[in-house]
Amino acid sequence: MRDYTKTIELKTTTGAKITVSQTLTLSKTINADGDKVCVECCDLGPVEAVIDGFPDQSCFINFPEPKQEKMGLIYGCIGKLGLLKDNYDKVVELVEAVKRHPAWIAKQSKIDDNIKANKALDAQRKANGYCEKCGSYCYGDC
Ligand SMILES: [Zn+2]
């Protein structure tokens, strides 16, 4: 399956172009004891920013509280690139758009199902006398 990449373009306060992208990797080649095998996956990559005239930045961070900088209120950042409200909102929309991909939604659903299955298994074990202290069915004899 082909990877899914979403890209948007922003401007800095000085007018430099910023190309922001995030990729959902849907297949990768792994090394299985020397055999190269292509497997399906669903890995969400970091938010990356290519900025004209500046080093590339990556890793999107939401600030719990906006920070006051000389260019204005910063709501988050990509690496060292501070994001004003307008650009911040566009980056949040980009991340949400990537997370609306059917493969990502299916992965989250599977994770939720596995959590429910693990809780049901734990409850069943406990009801059958499983002791978490010693890790066996000792029925309190440990
Ligand atoms: Zn025990």
In this prediction, what percent of the chain has a pLDDT beyond 90? 89
pLDDT at 1 exceeding the cut of 80? no
pLDDT at 51: 95
pLDDT at 74: 96
CB atoms within 5 A of ion ligand 1 belong to: 131, 133-134, 138, 142
pLDDT at 68 exceeding the cut of 90? yes
Is the pTM above the cut of 0.85?
no
H or E, element range at 90 = helix 85-99
Distance 130 CA to ligand 1 centre (A): 7
Residue partners of 54: CB distance under 8 A and separation at least 6: 16, 81
Exposure class string for 108-123: b at 16+ Cβ within 10 A, else e: eeeeeeeeeeeeeeee
The lowest-confidence range among 68-72, 74-78, 82-86 is 68-72
**DSSP string covering 14-77:** T--EEEEEEEEEEEEEEEETTEEEEEEEEEEPPPEEEETTS--EE-EEEEEEEEEETTEEEEEE
pLDDT at 139: 77
7, 20 Cβ separation under 8 angstroms: yes
pLDDT at 124: 95
